[in-house]
Amino acid sequence: MVTGDHASWGYTTSTGLGFTHEEIVDAHFEACAPQYRTAFELAGIQPGWHVLDAGCGTGAFLPWLAEAVGPSGRTAAIDLAEENASLAAARMDAWRARHDTGEVEVRQGDILRLPYADATFDAVWCANTTQYLNDEELARALRELRRVVRPGGVVAVKDLDASLITVRPGDPFRFMDHFRRAAETPGYARQLLRTRDLWRWLAGAGLVSVRQQTMLIEHHAPLRPAVLRFYGLACARLAEQAVRMGCGEAWRTLLDPDGETNPLRDPYGYVSEGNTVALGTVPERGGSGHS
C-alpha cells in the first residue's frame, strides 16, 4: 500500500492510510447513512448466510450485515488497523446485547492475505477499501475475495467515486481539477478516480455475472449537522493540500469549516460525491472464469 502518499491526506490510523481514522470514517457514515443503506442492499445478503466484511473499518456496516443474515447466519469482519478492529468488535458486542443475532467474529488482518479457508463464505462485502490499494494490490485482493467465497456466492465491492465530488457555490471543476493534478503520479488520488472501473477488475478476477451501479449522493442546503461535520472536515483537509500544491485562492474559503464564507454554509450550499457498487458471482466449479 502506498502509505507515504496516503498519509499526506490526513486522518490516518496506525496503518498510515489517509481517511481511515474513526473521526472521519464514522462522520462519513453518519452523513451518508441513507445512501449507504441503498448501496448495501444491492448486495442481496440473505438470511442464514455466512458473510465477511472485508475492510470493516470501525464496523459501521456490521449491524446491517448481522441483521441481514439473521439469527441463523454468521458474520465475520477483518480490518488492517488493530484499533479499528477493536472498535468494530466493541460496536458489535454492544449491538448484540440488544438484538437476537448469530455469531459475529471480528479480527485484525490483511485483505491481501485473508486468514480464511477457500469457499468459507456465502458472500463478501468490501466497502470503502479498494481506494487504498494500488492496481497490483487490487487484483490480488479481489482474487482473495473470490477465493474465500463459495461457488455461486457473491462478491460485492463499494467505494467512493471521486469524479462526482463537487461543492457549490463555486467553481464546478475545483475538485476534479485537484484530483486530476494529484493523480498525475500513482497514489491515492488516482485510486479514487479508478472506482467506476471496478466492474472490469471484478471480471478480471474471474467473477461472472458482473454488474455495477453508480449513485450520486447529493446534499442540499440547509445541510444537516452530520453533513456539515463530515464535509467540513474533509473539504478543509483537501483545501490544505490544494493550497500547498498551488491550486489557487478559491480553495481558501474551505479551510475553515465554520467560516461564514464557506460554501457549505451558503444559503444555496450543495455538496455531492459518487457511490459505486460492483457485484460479481463466483463461478460454479467447472464453469467459466479466470483462474
Domain-located, residue 38:
yes
pLDDT at position 290, please? 45
Distance CA 97, CA 83 (A): 21
pLDDT at position 18, please? 67
Domain-located, residue 56:
yes
Domain-located, residue 245:
no
Quote the domain boundaries for residue 102: 3-163+186-219+272-281
**CA dihedral sign, ordered 142, 108, 80, 127:** positive
Domain-located, residue 66:
yes
Q: How many separate domains does the chain show?
A: 1
Distance CA 144, CA 139 (A): 9
pLDDT at position 7, please? 66
How far, in Å, are 96, 127, 131, 177, 280 from residue 182 at the CA level? 43, 23, 14, 9, 31
pLDDT at position 246, please? 81
Domain-located, residue 34:
yes
pLDDT at position 39, please? 96
Residue by residue, pLDDT tens for the chain (291 residues) are 544 566 666 667 777 766 676 677 888 999 999 999 999 999 999 999 999 999 999 999 999 999 999 999 999 999 999 999 999 999 999 999 999 989 999 999 999 999 999 999 999 999 999 999 999 999 999 999 999 999 999 999 999 999 999 999 999 999 999 999 989 988 889 999 999 999 999 999 999 999 999 999 999 999 999 999 999 999 998 998 888 888 777 899 999 999 999 999 999 999 999 999 999 999 998 655 543
Closest by CA position to 61, among listed 20, 30, 19: 30
Domain-located, residue 227:
no
Whole-model pTM: value is 0.92
C-alpha cell belonging to residue 281: 458471482
What CATH number is associated with residue 96?
A: 3.40.50.150
The answer to whether the beta carbons of residues 50 and 79 sit under 8 Å apart is no
Bridge partners of 278, per DSSP, are 157, 212
Domain-located, residue 11:
yes
pLDDT at position 249, please? 78
Domain-located, residue 93:
yes
The answer to whether the beta carbons of residues 108 and 82 sit under 8 Å apart is yes
